[in-house]
């Protein structure tokens, strides 16, 4: 145990975590240069393209320093805000962290929030300035930022480049010398912290853990504390480039277990593994059940694809336990599923994977958050769909989730960012200079305002010079009302939204205007109305057009005529019929496009 070092890497997206990790694996000969096909730690296509490590993994390296052999376990962490709970469990499994900061970009929001998590967990922090090879590198300035943030000495900061390999040796030495060896008692009852799991089509679910106390042996009868389920440890081992089986592993080690688990829901990140015969007294602290906070309807474009969509979602769920789905039906869109996601990026990933891996074309409705609706008797129900809201007369009040967010930007952009956040019902909590003219703004904002058109606006008003990070903070009572959209008097459930009462009239008006642009003129007038309950608050009309496309053909050329009709039919396929009105798919996302 004295020769084990468990560490993770904290970095903002694109600051070079994966590249540097590869260099460490190369230097320690964990992988040969030949094996090093791009970035080993990101093994999904999607991840590689986005440059985001979506699922965390772990890998063991052997390193000899001054004649002593050390075992270094690198626990990779997901790089995006939607997965911050998983990050927190990976951090909890480590004794040290490399803090990687891009020499050109400086400290960003994601870096700070994960750093705080590491400090809370008493991790030893090794600061690294990466990409010093870049012409645009400003290592001295970034060094100032790190010193301000950590209160460390300048000499402790390692300058590195994942590209040239500069500093890699210094990093390995620092890990051995500064990261403490894990503590823990190999003879105590077993306590192993699950920090990740993966689905393997041949072996079932494989759980990754760090042993905090005790020893696990192949064939042991073990229990997962939060689910109460018991399994036989068919295989245990450590994670090299592949799985490497062992007979036993004891306190301080990082390993995997294969025990015939079929579904990802049985393995919860943060759960404790213990022995059935000699259980530990307490589970490891910090376990939380992650709940999806963002919901959207996902509908097949072709009605007959409903069962295919279900099968695809089930497959996705095998290695993504945080994805939830329940069947629902919409008058406008037919049969589909209400899916729950950790956040917006998670939603995008699922949508993309449905298309890419399962060839499923879907319509996604406007996302909404999870609301807590209290009735007059004081009982609460969670509502994941505006159209599922009970009758207003039965509702006492509604609560919505708020995030606490951190925005790091340059002083020049404070004005527009303030305007944006306040316009999104945000509340400024703190405003702090980090160094030079970089500033951190802390806002509490309703999550429901973030899921609609926030990132893009933030990016454009700050010209890309703003990084954003958040976590769910609390639920607060809000004056929310359900806004319905009616087309020729018929309410379109897929267009209903929950909106704040104070903004509802403006919002309704803008929805009507936008829909007027998006719905093509048809052979009769179409009335678009926005309503709260039975009260109409806005109205637009699309004037009729007599659309005779064949008229242009002078009656003569019959094949040309047929082609035009075919074309028109195809166009129709991407429309949904609402009563007598044909609505194009993009109209269902109208609310995302309001200016």
List contacts with Mg ion (CB under 5 A). Answer: 18, 53
| One residue of 51, 189, 279, 579 binding ligand GDP per CB under 6 A | 51
Is 235 or 348 the residue whose CB approaches ligand GDP more closely? Answer: 348
Contact 272, 227 (CB under 8 A): no
Interacting residues of 531 by C-beta distance below 8 A, sequence separation 6+: 483, 484, 485, 486, 491, 508, 537
Residue 162 binds ligand GDP, judged by CB under 6 A: yes
Residue 105 binds ligand GDP, judged by CB under 6 A: no
What is the Cα–Cα distance from 80 to 264, expressed in whole angstroms?
Answer: 21
Chain position carrying tokens 């468990």: 6
Residue 170 binds ligand GDP, judged by CB under 6 A: no
Closest CB 53 distance from ligand GDP, rounded Å: 6
Is 115 or 273 the residue whose CB approaches ligand GDP more closely? Answer: 115
Closest CB 53 distance from Mg ion, rounded Å: 4
Runs of H (alpha helix) within 436-503: 447-450, 455-461
Which two three-digit tokens encode residue 508?
Answer: 């309704």
What is the Cα–Cα distance from 528 to 162, expressed in whole angstroms?
Answer: 56
Closest CB 358 distance from Mg ion, rounded Å: 25
What is the Cα–Cα distance from 346 to 304, expressed in whole angstroms?
Answer: 26
Q: Which stretch binds ligand GDP (CB under 6 A): 28-36, 155-163, 262-270, 493-501?
A: 155-163
Q: Which stretch binds ligand GDP (CB under 6 A): 14-22, 272-280, 515-523, 545-553?
A: 14-22
Residue 169 binds ligand GDP, judged by CB under 6 A: no
Is 51 or 579 the residue whose CB approaches ligand GDP more closely? Answer: 51
Q: Which long-range contacts (CB under 8 A, 24 or more apart) does 503-506 make?
A: 504/532, 504/537, 505/537, 505/538
Residue 163 binds ligand GDP, judged by CB under 6 A: yes
3-state secondary structure 524-577: CCEEEEEEECCEEEEEEEECCCCCCHHHHHCCCCHHHHHHHHHHHHHHHHCEEE
What is the Cα–Cα distance from 159 to 176, expressed in whole angstroms?
Answer: 17
Q: Which stretch binds ligand GDP (CB under 6 A): 57-65, 130-138, 396-404, 555-563?
A: 130-138
**Radius of gyration of the CA atoms of the chain, in A:** 27
Out of ligand GDP, Mg ion, none, which partner does residue 576 contact, by CB within 5 to 8 A per kind?
A: none
Closest CB 133 distance from ligand GDP, rounded Å: 5
Residue 111 binds ligand GDP, judged by CB under 6 A: no
Runs of H (alpha helix) within 75-208: 84-92, 109-120, 139-150, 168-178
Closest CB 8 distance from ligand GDP, rounded Å: 13
Site for ligand GDP in 445-504 (CB under 6 A): none
Binders of ligand GDP: how many residues, by CB under 6 A? Answer: 18
Closest CB 49 distance from Mg ion, rounded Å: 11
Out of Mg ion, ligand GDP, none, which partner does residue 133 contact, by CB within 5 to 8 A per kind?
A: ligand GDP
Paired residues of 478 in beta bridges: 398
Is 44 or 395 the residue whose CB approaches Mg ion more closely? Answer: 44
CA 274 to mean position of chain CA atoms: 30
Q: Which stretch binds ligand GDP (CB under 6 A): 109-117, 127-135, 220-228, 473-481?
A: 127-135
Residue 17 binds ligand GDP, judged by CB under 6 A: yes
| One residue of 4, 10, 11, 216 binding ligand GDP per CB under 6 A | 11
Torsion of Cα atoms, 445 then 294 then 117 then 101, to 10°? -80
Residues that bind ligand GDP (CB under 6 A): 11, 13-19, 51, 53, 79, 130-131, 133-134, 161-163
């Amino acid at each position: 145990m004295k020769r084990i070092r468990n560490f993770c890497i904290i970095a903002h997206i694109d600051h070079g975590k994966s590249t540097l990790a590869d260099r460490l694996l190369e230097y320690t000969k964990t992988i040969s240069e030949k094996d090093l096909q791009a970035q080993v730690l990101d093994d999904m296509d999607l991840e590689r393209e986005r440059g985001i490590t979506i699922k965390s993994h772990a890998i063991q390296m052997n390193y000899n320093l001054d004649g002593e052999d050390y075992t270094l376990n690198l626990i990779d962490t997901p790089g995006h805000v939607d997965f911050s709970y998983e990050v927190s469990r990976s951090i909890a499994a480590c004794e040290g962290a490399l803090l990687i900061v891009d020499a050109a970009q400086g400290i960003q929001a994601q870096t700070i929030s994960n750093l705080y998590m590491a400090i809370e967990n008493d991790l030893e922090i090794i600061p690294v300035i990466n990409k010093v090879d870049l012409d645009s590198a400003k290592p001295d300035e970034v060094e100032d930022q790190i010193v301000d943030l950590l209160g460390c000495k300048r000499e402790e900061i390692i300058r590195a480049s994942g590209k040239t390999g500069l500093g890699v040796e210094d990093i390995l030495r620092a890990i051995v010398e500064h990261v403490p060896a894990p503590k823990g008692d190999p003879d105590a009852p077993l306590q192993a912290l699950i920090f990740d799991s993966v689905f393997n089509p041949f072996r079932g679910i494989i759980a990754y853990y760090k042993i905090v106390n005790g020893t696990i042996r192949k064939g042991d009868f073990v229990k997962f504390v939060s689910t109460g389920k018991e399994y036989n440890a068919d295989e245990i081992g450590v994670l090299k480039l592949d799985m490497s089986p062992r007979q036993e592993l004891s306190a301080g080690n990082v390993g995997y277990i294969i025990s015939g688990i079929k579904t990802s829901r049985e393995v919860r990140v943060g759960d404790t593994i213990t022995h059935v015969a000699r259980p530990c007294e307490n589970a490891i602290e910090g376990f939380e059940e992650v709940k999806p906070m963002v919901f959207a309807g996902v509908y097949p474009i072709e009605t007959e694809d409903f069962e295919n969509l279900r099968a695809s979602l089930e497959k996705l769920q095998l290695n993504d336990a945080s994805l939830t789905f329940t069947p629902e039906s919409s008058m406008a869109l037919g049969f589909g599923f209400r899916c729950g996601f950790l956040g917006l990026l998670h939603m995008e990933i699922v949508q993309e994977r449905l298309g890419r891996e399962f060839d499923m074309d879907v319509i996604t409705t406007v996302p909404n958050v999870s609301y807590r609706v209290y009735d007059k008797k004081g009982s609460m129900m969670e509502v994941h769909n505006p159209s599922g809201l009970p009758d207003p007369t039965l509702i006492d009040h509604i609560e919505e989730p708020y995030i606490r967010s951190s925005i790091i930007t340059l002083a020049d952009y404070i004005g527009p960012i303030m305007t944006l956040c306040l316009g999104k019902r945000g509340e400024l909590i703190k405003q702090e200079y980090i160094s030079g003219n970089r500033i951190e703004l802390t806002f509490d904002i309703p999550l429901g305002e973030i899921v609609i058109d926030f990132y893009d606006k933030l990016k454009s008003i700050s010209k890309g010079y703003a990084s954003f990070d958040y976590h769910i903070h609390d639920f607060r009572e809000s004056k929310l009302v359900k806004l319905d959209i009616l087309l020729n008097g018929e309410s379109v459930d897929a267009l209903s939204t929950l909106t704040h009462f104070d903004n509802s009239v403006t919002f309704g008006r803008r929805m009507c205007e936008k829909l007027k642009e998006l719905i093509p003129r048809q052979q009769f007038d179409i009335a678009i109305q926005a309503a709260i309950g039975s009260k109409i608050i806005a109205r637009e009309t699309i004037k009729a057009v007599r659309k005779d496309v064949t008229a242009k053909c002078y009656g003569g050329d019959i094949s040309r005529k047929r082609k035009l009709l075919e074309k028109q039919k195809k166009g129709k396929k991407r429309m949904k019929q609402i009563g007598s009105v044909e609505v194009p798919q993009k109209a269902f996302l109208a609310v995302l496009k309001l200016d």
